[in-house]
Structure 1
Amino acid sequence: MITFGIMTLNFESEASYIHEIASRSHSCGLECYHFLPSAINPLTKQVMGRHFDAKKQCWVDEEFPIPPLIYDRCFYGDDEHSKQCIPIVSWLKSREDITFLGFGLPNKLELYETLSKSRLSPYLPRSQVIKDCSDVIKALKSQRRIIIKPINGSQGFGIYYLKKNEKTIHVKTEKNKKIISRIFPNESKLFQWLQPLINYRPYLLQPYLELSNTSSQPFDIRILLQKDEQGLWLERGKGIRIGNTGGLLSNLSAGGSVIDFPSWSSTLSLATKEYIGNELHFITNNLPHILEREILPLFEIGIDIGMAKNGALWILDVNSKPGRKVILKTQPDLQETLFLAPLLYGNYLIHAENKERKSYNEKTLYH
């Protein structure tokens, strides 16, 4: 049997999702293993991890060779373990004898630069890297309201809303499902807060877009795309994420809720519904092929799309390691499909004549 490895930074990460995949692996002709990049012995190339016992339907601690087929579900932070694992994963992705289901995406800035040269450029909020605090002040003077976000961020972490009032500057963010606000009396005080932030990690600056519903709740459309057992892209499902009133984020990790797409779209006029359907189809039909042409092969993509009050659609984020909560909550009948998908696509890769998987680029680690 071909060995199929699922790689995370700890064994608690997405434990139920990984268990569901593993419990179906044997029926797909795959032997499932779960391991951490840091558990690879650099001398023996053996891994200390877990093997799924198909008969007992449980995990068993075991040492094994690095699996030739890997599903990467590593989410990196600023901690030392993440920093230790990044070069190890980079080494794994460069090896010719290992096939990854997907190679990931570059950071938000490089992704923006790639998509801004494509036919999807009208759907992108204008983005620039913050080189200095003066960039923020300049943007506030011309736009009054802006958003800043980490170039390598995920799950809405580290996003700030800034608004220039007549004499003060208002800064708002969300932490631990709470909205936190600060008022700075002048630019100097803002600089004292902002400079350490942009020194610590690179940030992007974007215009603030009104992407809230009539109840002043931020909302967006989450779409999950995956490749099927024949290597063809398809849309698995989509749902609406709704955030807290007056907040910035619709992420479920920030306390957001979900509703199914048909229920939401049924509140729209027939013309608006048709317009949004056509726009979403254009985005989902083009995005995977643009990314794979310019970057590297992928297995799945989560797309977050915001809708402005004037009906304009904006691509807010693209993630190559998407979660499944929105889809499973709004379309629970897709559960079996989503648990089998990595295994079926893995089988396709093993047996595909055209591997098309390499010309490795180490910029694809973050997402």
Structure 2
Amino acid sequence: MNTNRARASARTVGVMVCPVPGEPPIPEKQFFRRLSSVGEKLGLTVFVFSPHRIDWQRERVVGYAYSATAGRWQKKWFPLPDAVYDRCFYSTPQSFAAFRKPLLRLANTPGVRFLGYGLKGKWNVHQMLMRDERLRPHIPKTELLEGADDIERWLEEEGELFLKPHGGSHGRGVLHIAASPRGYVAIGRTYRNEQVRYSFRSLPKLLEWTAKFTAGRKYLIQRFLRLTADDGTAFDIRALVQKNGKGRWSLTGIAVRQGAPGSVTSNLHGGGHAEEAEPFLRKLYGKAAADILQTVRDIALRVPEVLETHHGRLAELGVDIGVDAEGRVWVLEANSKPGRSSFAALPDKQASRDAIVNPLLYAKYLLDTRGPYAAPPGSMKSTDAIHDASDAI
């Protein structure tokens, strides 16, 4: 064993990120500061690193650790982490390609364990979820967008449709297209998170504009669900499910996200806000709210079990769930690198605290057991998951 690994007095959790401009070049600084504080109490050294800064010969990496005493991030050498918490977001297939080689090497390094491997794109997730009989009734009709003919067909059959990118997050690049008395209307958000609203007198003009809007990206075409509150604002439910200190899936919290006025999505990054789920649903659905909430909880815990069976190890998921006017519950998306802002905005801070503690409790569990991870039947190997992660861009 390399002496650098052998001399490590404390077990380490490396938070892997894609660098951002500035010093230190790390995103989510507040989240990672809180991780560092929690890690210290659990006997874990938490640091933030990029896989491009690894010295493979000496088995060490340049990382940043937050010093509460100094009140700042400190840059220094660390041994290769015992556990890796992946919080790296790739903006393009090219950016992922630049990380693929060191990621594969790190995943195959003895003694290094990833808490989980990032999911592939939305179409792949949709196909995995559709294999489960219990989830299938809660999944809206979805197809892979192949061309303009698909949009024309959906408009003829449904009168409206929803387009969302195979990869991406925060509601960027989505589009609601509907027939109107004067032609067609397209409402959505650009990849710069700017709202767009256009009217078209003819179908050819709509299709020409849509082709430019989606150019160069893989898209899904999906049944449009009317998920709105009484005032017409869009809303959905974010359920955060995480592995706990016993290595089991647990429901950390549920929050309602309401979108900004006029938005077709409820993402907080698009100007929305979060509310407590139970009183919000009770106001909309009355006595039926209790059954709706139970269905949401059941779905939220079922989704990670199904995905892990086909994909391989996961550590946490943000499961986005919609409830329509009739009270029917729909699975919208599942994200293996979820944010936590929905829970930080709620009066009850327990879910916000648990959202930060659980990844480290799970890391501690993995390091304590140290046994080889037995992937579920039919699941992917870690290297396969990393190879295919470019599909999620």
Provide TM-score, normalisation by structure 2.
Answer: 0.86
2-side partners of 1:101 and 1:346: how far apart? 6
Q: 1:242 aligns with which of 237, 258, 266?
A: 258
Q: Do 2:241 and 2:317's aligned partners in 1 also have CA atoms closer than 8 Å?
A: yes
2-side partners of 1:9 and 1:269: how far apart? 42
Letter in structure 1 aligned against 2:358: A
Distance 1:24 1:274, change over 3 A: closer
1-side partners of 2:13 and 2:264: how far apart? 39
Q: 2:39 aligns with which of 20, 25, 40?
A: 25
2-side partners of 1:43 and 1:342: how far apart? 29
Percentage identity across aligned positions? 27
The corresponding residue for 2:372 is 355
Q: Do 1:93 and 1:103's aligned partners in 2 also have CA atoms closer than 8 Å?
A: no
**2:298 matched to 1:294?**
no
The corresponding residue for 2:117 is 103
Q: 2:98 aligns with which of 66, 84, 89?
A: 84
Q: Is the partner of 1:40 in helix, strand or coil?
A: strand
Show structure 2 runs of 5+ residues with no match: 1-9, 20-24, 376-380
Q: 2:283 aligns with which of 267, 278, 292?
A: 267
Letter in structure 1 aligned against 2:12: T
Q: Is the partner of 2:253 in helix, strand or coil?
A: strand
Distance 1:328 1:236, change over 3 A: same
Deviation at 1:307? 0.8
Report which stretch shifted further, 231-240 or 331-340: 331-340
Q: Do 1:52 and 1:60's aligned partners in 2 also have CA atoms closer than 8 Å?
A: yes
Deviation at 1:137? 1.1
Show structure 1 runs of 5+ residues with no match: none
**2:54 matched to 1:40?**
yes
1-side partners of 2:146 and 2:46: how far apart? 45
Report which stretch shifted further, 351-360 or 24-33: 351-360
Distance 1:304 1:71, change over 3 A: same
Letter in structure 1 aligned against 2:174: I
Letter in structure 2 aligned against 1:310: E
2-side partners of 1:208 and 1:356: how far apart? 40
Deviation at 1:81? 4.3
2-side partners of 1:34 and 1:195: how far apart? 40
Q: Do 2:173 and 2:193's aligned partners in 1 also have CA atoms closer than 8 Å?
A: no
Deviation at 1:253? 0.2
Report which stretch shifted further, 171-180 or 299-308: 171-180
Letter in structure 2 aligned against 1:257: H
Letter in structure 2 aligned against 1:356: Y
Deviation at 1:211? 0.7
Q: 1:63 aligns with which of 77, 87, 91?
A: 77
Superposition misfits of 4+ residues, deviation over 6 angstroms: none
Deviation at 1:249? 1.1
**RMSD of aligned residue pairs (Cα, Å):** 2.3
Distance 1:325 1:42, change over 3 A: same
Q: 2:331 aligns with which of 315, 323, 333?
A: 315
Report which stretch shifted further, 344-353 or 53-62: 53-62
Q: 1:343 aligns with which of 360, 365, 378?
A: 360
Deviation at 1:339? 2.6
Deviation at 1:343? 1.6
Distance 1:299 1:357, change over 3 A: farther
2-side partners of 1:90 and 1:152: how far apart? 21
Q: 1:9 aligns with which of 18, 23, 41?
A: 18
Distance 1:324 1:78, change over 3 A: same
Q: Do 1:160 and 1:173's aligned partners in 2 also have CA atoms closer than 8 Å?
A: yes
Deviation at 1:183? 1.7
Deviation at 1:68? 2.5
2-side partners of 1:56 and 1:167: how far apart? 63
Letter in structure 1 aligned against 2:337: K
1-side partners of 2:172 and 2:103: how far apart? 23
The corresponding residue for 2:7 is none
Q: Do 1:177 and 1:255's aligned partners in 2 also have CA atoms closer than 8 Å?
A: no
Deviation at 1:52? 4.0
**2:242 matched to 1:226?**
yes
Q: 2:137 aligns with which of 122, 127, 145?
A: 122
1-side partners of 2:12 and 2:172: how far apart? 35
Letter in structure 2 aligned against 1:9: C
Q: 1:150 aligns with which of 156, 165, 182?
A: 165
Deviation at 1:48? 2.3
Provide TM-score, normalisation by structure 1.
Answer: 0.92
Deviation at 1:200? 0.4
Deviation at 1:79? 8.0
